[in-house]
Amino acid sequence: MIINQIKTIKKEDFLHLKNEYINLLNQEDYHIHYLDGKTIKCKQDYFNHFKKVYLFGSHFGNNRNAFIDCMRDLDFWDDKQGFVLVIYNYSKFITENQKDKDNFIKALEYIAFYLEKECLTTSGGRNRLKSFDVYLIDEEIDM
């Protein structure tokens, strides 16, 4: 059973998790993505970043709904069992507008729910459920 999560954790807890869990997932065909929160100051920055990393097509409309639609398409990535997103320096992530930061997290919560439970019903059962874990770390981590 897949249980997706968005979790704020301390640096030392993440380092333990990375050694015990994330390195194993990397060997199991998971897409592991590390994002330095200092590089994303506004909503447009995260749209541009995710478009590049998750290969959004030219149809991506640079808005929250388009972001959610494209992220929901992760269930079509047959070569991946799941996804891990680690945002470090999270306290510096989207500092220009708190509402945009809150909306980003709400979008991730919906995407996690969709990939955990809903993609089988909304896509006619042709897609697989996917693991989608997000870790938010306020501190700098060495990559």
User: What are the residues facing 35 on neighbouring strands?
Assistant: 87
Query: According to the model, what pLDDT value does residue 73 have?
Result: 81
Query: Which pLDDT tens digit goes with each residue over 127-143?
Result: 677 888 999 999 877 66
Q: Which CATH number fits domain 5-137: 1.20.1050.140, 3.10.129.10, 3.30.370.10, 3.40.50.720?
A: 3.30.370.10
Query: According to the model, what pLDDT value does residue 106 have?
Result: 95
Query: According to the model, what pLDDT value does residue 99 have?
Result: 96
**Residue 111 to residues 10, 23, 85, 96, Cα–Cα distance (Å):** 23, 23, 12, 24
**What is the number of alpha carbons within 13 Å of residue 9 lying toward its C-beta?**
18
For the chain, which residues score pLDDT lower than 70?
Answer: 1-2, 24, 26-27, 75-76, 78, 119-127, 142-143
Query: According to the model, what pLDDT value does residue 85 have?
Result: 92
Q: How far is CA 3 from its chain centroid? A: 14
Ordered by start, the domain boundaries in the chain are 5-137
Query: According to the model, what pLDDT value does residue 1 have?
Result: 57
